[in-house]
């Protein structure tokens, strides 16, 4: 929730490095810096895209916001 509550500060502010700023957000949830910066074969961007792909295909998500509640898709306009 904190990530979206402060989105204007890290995603849209001029002169802010969004990658660095996003990297600091896990601390808000109590995650250590060592854990949050651990490298894996998959980049953060690739992981996010992978996480989005399955529900997009499964539920035919094609708009934002979209919600699936009790197996029923509710799409934004």
In sequence order, the 6+-apart residues with CB closer than 8 A to the CB of 45 are none
Cα gap 36→72, rounded to integer Å: 34
Tokens representing 58 are 């499964």
pTM over 0.75: no
What does DSSP assign to residue 32? Answer: -
Burial of residue 46, with CB atoms counted within 10 A of its CB: 0-12 exposed, 13-18 middle, 19 or more buried:
exposed
Print pLDDT tens along the chain (77 aa).
666 777 777 677 788 777 777 667 777 667 777 776 666 666 777 877 888 888 889 999 888 888 999 999 999 87
């Amino acid at each position: 929730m904190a990530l979206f509550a402060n989105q204007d500060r890290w995603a849209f502010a001029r002169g802010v490095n969004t990658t660095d700023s996003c990297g600091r957000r896990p601390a808000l949830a109590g995650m250590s810096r060592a854990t949050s910066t651990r490298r894996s074969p998959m980049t953060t961007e690739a992981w996010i895209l992978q996480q989005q792909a399955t529900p997009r295909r499964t539920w035919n998500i094609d708009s934002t916001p979209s919600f699936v509640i009790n197996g029923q898709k509710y799409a934004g306009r």
